[in-house]
Structure 1
Amino acid sequence: MSSSAAPTVEDELVHEFGPLLRVYKSGRIERPLMLPPVEPGLDPSTGVESKDVDLGVYSARLYLPPAAATAGAKLPVIFYTHGGGFVAESAKSPNYHRFLNDLTSACPALGVSVDYRLAPEHPLPAAYDDCLAALGWVLSAADPWISAHGDLARVFIAGDSAGGNICHHIAIQPDVARLKGAVLIHPWFWGSEAVGEETRDPAGHARGAGLWMFACPGTSGADDPRMNPMALDAPGLETLACEKVMVCTAEGDFLRWRGRAYSEALTAARGSAGEQEVELLETEGEGHVFYLFKPDCDKTKEMLDRIVAFVNAA
């Protein structure tokens, strides 16, 4: 007859945030959704070549589409920041690797996907700092792929969920270089007051910022301007360092209303003509970051086509 050892105090679960993160009293950390990383190299489906560049405490995965070899001019640069609530996921995830291959091939564009440090081992602002430093590295054209093939007058920042939040944080910095555009996909913003059809239940609404409070222990709360760009003390949205912005939301995403409110506030602050363009894409019948898990569905293709058009518009 077999028996198993009784659980110890060290096995006690002290923090759990859905499937993203579990932290035990012993200090053990689990990230159930994270898949084994994939290696860079030639993608047979798209012909995109990728490589990893070690940049110290963080790294970047670069993507070079086959068009780079034949294009008569340099390609736009898409600087991508992955999601995962600041506590999970990676640029080396098979889902993100597939998406970057597809996106850079379709544009075509040179891609840079940042593998920034994660909380709780590295609490915020570590992720923000890494991504800002990585953008500076891109703009320095220190890598031969970037110097040979990247058009640094056409740099787009893009990201999903927490990565969308990072994109806003980058673009709102007063000293960041002027960017051609930003694509925020299902961005993770929140606030103390509900917007749209968000829950009005105080306890339920407060849970929307629980992971943020954990990942950023020095935060002032849900209305920290890094989490709520529409907070009273947040920098004015008219200062966003982008010629144009695209915001993507999904009908089944609890962040939908926050993304829509951000788009509306940005439009009001910047105007909607010429270089002040703000575009909103709302996907019906899908949930948060659906395109990562359903890369071949029609709605993913529609979203990809819209992003490609946004990048390639004059």
Structure 2
Amino acid sequence: MAGSLINMFSVSPSRYISTSDEIPIHCHGICRLHHDGRFERLAGLNTTPAGADELTGVQSKDVIILQETNLSARLYIPKSTTQNRKLPATLIYFHGGSFLTESSASTLYHPTLNLITAESNVIIVSVDYRLGPEHPIPIAHEDSWEAIKWVASHDRANGPEPWLNDHADLQNVFLGGDSSGANIAHNMAIRVGLSKTINLKGVIMLHPLFQGKDPIGPESSGKHREFKAVVDLLWKLASRGRIDLDDPLFNPAMNPLISYFGCSKILLCVAEKDKCTVRGLNYKKVMEKSEWKGRFELVETKGGRHVFFLHDTSCADACNLRTRISTFINPIPSKV
């Protein structure tokens, strides 16, 4: 597998990428592609079992969605949940990891999703989609769509999962994700708009990962140029070189169906020191220029780096971000 990947494209060394005879492709901190045909992940290797969280009291469990592909999800419900009590909203969440790393059981994600569950008083379905390059894009997106349809199958409280039957309000569904997971959330929202599979109220986009063939803004030079090169490489690895950088899955500006985005509001969160912010803010412009009639809530974290809220859940900026997520899901009624 790796040999064919290596031959698909050339790699230029930078602060993000190095090469050698034994390791032709090394994306620092993310993955290595070895000369002998082995793909090695460097992130997302540590996992946390589901169960009761000591800090928040949130309960979680892992469930199988589709036996044929072993597609699964981790479910979260708040501590105070009683039998047959519907929670105010349902959040379907897609983790990040460049489509190559991480999982729904990752130690990087589990604490944050416990906190969001507790603070927003929601049930969360964290989707464990399959990763590239073994399962190349668009498999991650197709798995995510299967998960959405699985959640929707509980709309009459007679689906296969008791927690969703008892507690999920499927009239108030949100999609969310960070980095590549935000990419998935965006693409799923368009499919929802076309199919009306769920009653989608909003989408939470945390430091979204988008790209395109041509550089925009500062991407033409310096550190931004090097960063674009590594993002391009990760996309090629995740798709096994089969999907172009300007494919609508990766470049929203190229999607003729973007106006079908299936809800009326987006919470877009970006960070000052995150180079993904260039594309994140461009995404806002693309959506606003389309025929989509919804509205944006924009959160820009000064001094923040990419997905800082996962790495330090107790910092003030992470707490503030979770508060914005909570009020986005549970808006405070305006006073008359």
TM (norm. structure 1) is 0.89
The aligned residue for residue 211 of structure 1 is 234
Deviation of the 1:17 alpha carbon = 2.0
Structure 2 runs not aligned, ≥5 long:
1-20
Structure 1 runs not aligned, ≥5 long:
1-10
Tell me which of 232, 254, 262 is aligned to 2:275. Answer: 254
Distance in structure 2 (CA, Å) of the matches to 1:301 and 1:80:
18
Distance in structure 2 (CA, Å) of the matches to 1:267 and 1:199:
24
User: Which letter does structure 1 place at the counterpart of 2:219?
Assistant: E
Distance in structure 1 (CA, Å) of the matches to 2:292 and 2:183:
21
Residues 1-314 of structure 1 aligned to structure 2 (within 5 Å): 12-55=22-65, 56=67, 57-69=70-82, 73-141=86-154, 142=159, 143-173=161-191, 174-177=194-197, 178-200=199-221, 204=226, 205-217=228-240, 219-231=242-254, 234-270=255-291, 276-313=294-331
Distance in structure 1 (CA, Å) of the matches to 2:188 and 2:285:
20
- More divergent stretch after superposition (166-175 vs 294-303): 166-175
SS at match of 1:209: helix
- Residues 172-223 of structure 1, C-alpha deviation per residue, up to 9 Å, x if partnerless? 1222524111001111001123333333479744443111012113544221
- More divergent stretch after superposition (158-167 vs 31-40): 31-40
1:266 and 1:278 in contact (8 A); partners too:
no
Change (3 A) 1:209 1:31: same
SS at match of 1:302: helix
Computed over aligned residues only, the root mean square deviation of the Cα atoms, in angstroms, reads: 2.1
Distance in structure 1 (CA, Å) of the matches to 2:33 and 2:258:
36
User: Which letter does structure 2 place at the counterpart of 1:40?
Assistant: A
- Residues 10-45 of structure 1, C-alpha deviation per residue, up to 9 Å, x if partnerless? x92133222111121333332222242111000011
User: Which letter does structure 2 place at the counterpart of 1:133?
Assistant: E
User: Which letter does structure 1 place at the counterpart of 2:326?
Assistant: V
TM (norm. structure 2) is 0.83
The aligned residue for residue 11 of structure 2 is none
